[in-house]
Chains A and B, each alone.
Chain A
């Protein structure tokens, strides 16, 4: 069943003269992750298999069924974000603003020197300013309408991070916000690429999420997909026979995407290029029937667009929900395209928890770092991938080896599938 796809893309990938200038490059990365704030700290921890999961400290989680999460514990909202900006934004935006600032510095982009309408901002958010919103709804319902602060109107809504980044750096090009839960973190790269093919030259993209407040956690718990284990080392075990749901986290990554020629012209050193993207949607679940997933088609769309043969893919960053039925669907999609044990698969999100839109953006950042350093970061905690999945899961320790093409997968709650192929520039 996989043959037609393989033959098809192999034929195309042999085309000698590839014009890669339509592939935007990533020139800057900013990371705010539970196991590291800033790219160097995050990458070192990730290669060492150091997890950021632990007991929730942002509030007293004792009475909740989920008590373990990935918190960006080094992050100080008032230290990392200017005070006037911090009061009018949620923690989720604080993480996003900080990551965006890191990414711009990393890219060496000085917004003040670029044409204002050619800088765009497109970020993904799953749940907006949940903690801020909870505080203001609490004031409303316990004290009255006059107690709702003025910043509720601009802090809670899903566009807050994009708008504040645009204002902070004077970016007057197109702004965008895409919500597709985890998949949104990849969808924004496709939108950023679209804008670069129009009249933008630099796009700030990526995403963060942070809903580790009481109401946000209870909302997440309502799906029944979260892990209720108290041992951080045994709580999140995707593809393991012992998988028991996922651990929620906060944070994410921002990326600076540029037109390849423009980046080259200014002497930037790209991490890699966004070469392929595919997005599909699942049909609604039917009671009593096996769920049908369109993840495989998202993968083949991304590979075909990148003109990359499955055999040329060096690693797959899995969505890795950690829920057995969903892990099986993902493993089936991967095996259908790459064959059984056909490609190294990894889930560094076992060290951060599921960061939703921020998680998919962080996986792209991680994939680009893997390409840069020629090493595949590990999936921690998993003792053995369930044999039935037929996956070559990179467990326990990082695996050396050249990484030229990396595929990132993301599934958003409600049926969203997205795949992005990043490649060495």
Chain B
């Protein structure tokens, strides 16, 4: 079974939503909120859309609202992949 890692998430974040000016994506960002990282709600929507396309998992609207951190997004995706 494929698993979705924080590094996969980092690639998606930087690739579709850009790199924050003040923080290093390579750092310990798993539990830092998207808002603190400098990603707004549009950015998170964009990440979710790319994840859906790349991995074929469906992410409903309310699930996007719950993805507050990169790690939360990773965990959600892995739950969907395992289901």
A interface residue numbers (CB < 8 A to B): 82-88, 146-147, 149-151, 154
Q: A84 and B21: CB pair below 8 A? A: yes
16 additional A-B residue pairs with CB within 8 Å, beyond A84-B20, A146-B49, A150-B49 = A83-B19, A83-B21, A84-B17, A84-B18, A84-B19, A84-B38, A84-B39, A84-B43, A87-B17, A146-B53, A147-B53, A149-B16, A149-B46, A149-B49, A150-B42, A151-B42
Residues of chain A within 8 A (CB-CB) of B49 are 146, 149-150
B interface residue numbers (CB < 8 A to A): 14, 16-21, 38-39, 42-43, 45-46, 49, 52-53
Residues of chain A within 8 A (CB-CB) of B19 are 83-84
Residues of chain A within 8 A (CB-CB) of B42 are 88, 150-151, 154
Residues of chain B within 8 A (CB-CB) of A87 are 16-18
**What's the Cα separation between A85 and B18 when bound, in Å?**
8
Query: Lowest 7 A-B CB distances belong to which pairs?
Result: A83-B18, A87-B18, A84-B18, A83-B19, A150-B46, A150-B42, A150-B45
**What's the Cα separation between A339 and B38 when bound, in Å?**
60
**What's the Cα separation between A38 and B46 when bound, in Å?**
34
Q: B53 and A86: CB pair below 8 A? A: no
A to B CB contacts below 8 Å, 5 in the list: A83-B19, A84-B17, A87-B16, A146-B49, A151-B46
Residues of chain A within 8 A (CB-CB) of B21 are 82-84
**What's the Cα separation between A88 and B42 when bound, in Å?**
10
Pick the contact of B52 from A82, A88, A146 — CB < 8 Å? A146
Residues of chain B within 8 A (CB-CB) of A149 are 16, 46, 49
> What's the nearest-Cβ distance from chain B to residue A168, in Å?
12
> What's the nearest-Cβ distance from chain B to residue A135, in Å?
13
Closest to A153 in B: B42
Closest to B47 in A: A150
**What's the Cα separation between A84 and B18 when bound, in Å?**
4
**What's the Cα separation between A84 and B14 when bound, in Å?**
9
Residues of chain B within 8 A (CB-CB) of A85 are 18
Residues of chain A within 8 A (CB-CB) of B39 are 84
Closest to A84 in B: B18
Residues of chain B within 8 A (CB-CB) of A88 are 18, 42
Residues of chain B within 8 A (CB-CB) of A84 are 17-21, 38-39, 43
> What's the nearest-Cβ distance from chain A to residue B47, in Å?
9
Closest to B37 in A: A84
Residues of chain A within 8 A (CB-CB) of B45 are 150
Closest to A144 in B: B53
**What's the Cα separation between A151 and B41 when bound, in Å?**
12
> What's the nearest-Cβ distance from chain B to residue A360, in Å?
32
Residues of chain B within 8 A (CB-CB) of A151 are 42, 46
**What's the Cα separation between A85 and B20 when bound, in Å?**
9
Closest to B46 in A: A150
Residues of chain B within 8 A (CB-CB) of A150 are 42-43, 45-46, 49
Residues of chain B within 8 A (CB-CB) of A83 are 14, 18-21
Closest to A86 in B: B18
**What's the Cα separation between A147 and B16 when bound, in Å?**
12
**What's the Cα separation between A147 and B46 when bound, in Å?**
10
**What's the Cα separation between A85 and B52 when bound, in Å?**
23
**What's the Cα separation between A86 and B39 when bound, in Å?**
13
> What's the nearest-Cβ distance from chain B to residue A85, in Å?
7
**What's the Cα separation between A154 and B38 when bound, in Å?**
18
**What's the Cα separation between A38 and B73 when bound, in Å?**
42
> What's the nearest-Cβ distance from chain B to residue A396, in Å?
46
Residues of chain A within 8 A (CB-CB) of B20 are 83-84
> What's the nearest-Cβ distance from chain B to residue A147, in Å?
7
> What's the nearest-Cβ distance from chain A to residue B32, in Å?
15
**What's the Cα separation between A146 and B20 when bound, in Å?**
25
**What's the Cα separation between A84 and B40 when bound, in Å?**
10
> What's the nearest-Cβ distance from chain B to residue A356, in Å?
28
**What's the Cα separation between A154 and B46 when bound, in Å?**
13
**What's the Cα separation between A235 and B38 when bound, in Å?**
46
> What's the nearest-Cβ distance from chain B to residue A228, in Å?
38
> What's the nearest-Cβ distance from chain A to residue B81, in Å?
19
> What's the nearest-Cβ distance from chain B to residue A77, in Å?
11
**What's the Cα separation between A83 and B17 when bound, in Å?**
8
> What's the nearest-Cβ distance from chain A to residue B25, in Å?
10
**What's the Cα separation between A82 and B39 when bound, in Å?**
13
Closest to B52 in A: A146
**What's the Cα separation between A296 and B39 when bound, in Å?**
52
> What's the nearest-Cβ distance from chain B to residue A157, in Å?
15
**What's the Cα separation between A150 and B45 when bound, in Å?**
7
**What's the Cα separation between A84 and B20 when bound, in Å?**
6
> What's the nearest-Cβ distance from chain A to residue B60, in Å?
13
